[in-house]
Amino acid sequence: MEYDIIEKVVELAVAEHELEGKLVKAAELIAYSFGFDRCEFYLWDEGKQVFTLKAHFGGDSNHKIYAQDEGIPGAVKAQKGVFEAQSLDELEEKGVTDRDMEGFRSVYALPLHDRHNFYGILSLKSRKRLALSIKRRHIIRIVALELSWAIRYDELIRNHQKIHSDLAEIQKKFANAEKLLALGDMAATLAHEIRNPLISIGGFAGRLKKQLGPDTKGALYLDRINIEVSRLQKIMDGITGFLKDSALELRSNDINEVIEECLKIFNPDFRSYGIRVIKDFHKGPLHIMADREQLKIAFDNLIANAVQSMEKNGGSLIIATALSGDLVTISIADNGGGIDPRYLGYIFNPFFTTKEHGTGLGLPITNSIVNRHKGVIEVENNAGVGVTFTVKLPRAEAKLPVVLLTDKIAESGPGKFR
């Protein structure tokens, strides 16, 4: 009986096969049941805006891809309904050319869709003239609907799987963040343990120098010791900056004002390195709740990096502040050559530096300060040209909580990452 096919297609649709296998079987079933010579499924690719042949039965289709307004698939899509032609002449009359009609006489094609989406088309071709009864047309429509559901189901499953793998990815990142946190705790303890002996070393070196008197060789050595001790002390201070319980003094601060203050310190550097400073500030104050001193440390670090990148050849420092929705954004751009893409994934790691006298703590400290203010940092690297660091912070009037992505930790890769 003709109705049997409906049942069979339902069985197919809910079976555990891959979509392609289901469609191939369905194609065979439909072709046999209704006496077509070929049955094809062209599925619509929303991303690429083309039709691709997903499954077929009866000879080889030589046209595997159709543009959105091309041939029979294009005609069905434009019409949002059944397209049929009893002869090639009729096809031509309807203004449709389709290379894949060679050897065929008539075609009956219909959309695979539901209320929400257009999934593609089902096309049935025959070498003869074909008169389809109303009943058969109904049955084919029902079958097409069933198969639309199968396609939708497949799509949902694939989305589901993608969400799962995205989730696994995020979990992995969190695990990394936790490791980093543990490392941070360890470093803080270590910093404390090292700090006291350092003070002793420096202190006694000072006393020894007093005993030896100035202008002695020994005094020279002791100066060296002192220089190294202060360097180590600077590193230790940096690490203690990570201590998570250090309290923030949150007040309403105008970010434009904070940046101006930071820039002032660098004025002598701008002059001596030939750096042009271009300010593109938001008109009017941009208030955020922040610990002013901490924020200044964060921006000092970013500006210092930009300045250091342009030390040799000069350049332009472009500082922009803006308001976008509930976020205040501050971007600091330089043209000091950018970051080697190989290193991009490491720049936020403590102690990563490419500078002779760097501590590699500038960016991790900046990152930790920005994070504690519920903000994020984004890096746009243009290797060989320059780099733009963008800090995004919730503005003071923002409705809390403002949800931001905070897992920009050490994800490697060229170009932009967050």
User: Would you tell me which residues interact with Mg ion (CB under 5 A)?
Assistant: 305, 362
The partner in contact with residue 202, picked from ligand ATP, Mg ion, other proteins, none with C-beta cut-offs of 5 to 8 angstroms by kind, is other proteins
> Distances in Å between the alpha carbon of 97 and those of 64, 75, 104, 302?
15, 10, 13, 61
Beta bridge partners of 41: 55, 122
Site for other proteins in 169-228 (CB under 8 A): 192, 195-207, 226
Cβ burial, residue 377 (10 Å; 0-12/13-18/19+): buried
Shortest approach of ligand ATP to residue 265 CB, angstroms? 15
The partner in contact with residue 197, picked from ligand ATP, other proteins, Mg ion, none with C-beta cut-offs of 5 to 8 angstroms by kind, is other proteins
C-beta of 106 vs 368, nearer to Mg ion:
368
C-beta of 13 vs 361, nearer to other proteins:
361
Shortest approach of other proteins to residue 373 CB, angstroms? 17
The partner in contact with residue 315, picked from other proteins, Mg ion, ligand ATP, none with C-beta cut-offs of 5 to 8 angstroms by kind, is none
Residue 414 DSSP symbol: S
C-beta of 198 vs 298, nearer to ligand ATP:
298
Q: Sheet harboring 83-85: ordered strands across? A: 65-67, 50-57, 38-45, 118-126, 106-113, 83-85
Q: Where are the beta strands (DSSP E) in 98-188?
A: 106-113, 118-126
Site for other proteins in 221-250 (CB under 8 A): 226, 229, 233, 240, 243, 245-247, 249
The partner in contact with residue 245, picked from ligand ATP, other proteins, Mg ion, none with C-beta cut-offs of 5 to 8 angstroms by kind, is other proteins
Q: Strand, helix or coil at 406?
A: coil
Find tokens 């343990």 and name the residue: 193
Q: Note whether 410 and 377 are within 8 A (CB).
A: no
What are the structure tokens assigned to 396, written together?
């003071």
Q: Which residue is nearest to ligand ATP (CB)?
A: 362
How many of the other CB atoms lie within 10 Å of CB of 165? 9
Residue 417 DSSP symbol: B
Report d(CA 146, CA 112) in Å as an integer.
9
Residue 50 DSSP symbol: E
| 99 is a contact residue toward other proteins (CB under 8 A) | no
Shortest approach of ligand ATP to residue 230 CB, angstroms? 14
Give the closest residue to 255 by CA, choosing from 354, 390, 352, 163.
390
Shortest approach of ligand ATP to residue 261 CB, angstroms? 19
Binding pattern for the stretch 324-363 against ligand ATP, x by CB under 6 A and - elsewhere: ----------x-x-xx-------x----xxxx--xxxxxx
C-beta of 12 vs 307, nearer to ligand ATP:
307
C-beta of 305 vs 329, nearer to ligand ATP:
305
The partner in contact with residue 9, picked from other proteins, ligand ATP, Mg ion, none with C-beta cut-offs of 5 to 8 angstroms by kind, is none
Report d(CA 126, CA 39) in Å as an integer.
9
Report d(CA 281, CA 255) in Å as an integer.
10
> Where do contacts with ligand ATP occur on this chain (CB under 6 A)?
301, 305-306, 309, 334, 336, 338-339, 347, 352-355, 358-363, 387
Interface contacts to other proteins, rule CB under 8 A: 192, 195-207, 226, 229, 233, 240, 243, 245-247, 249
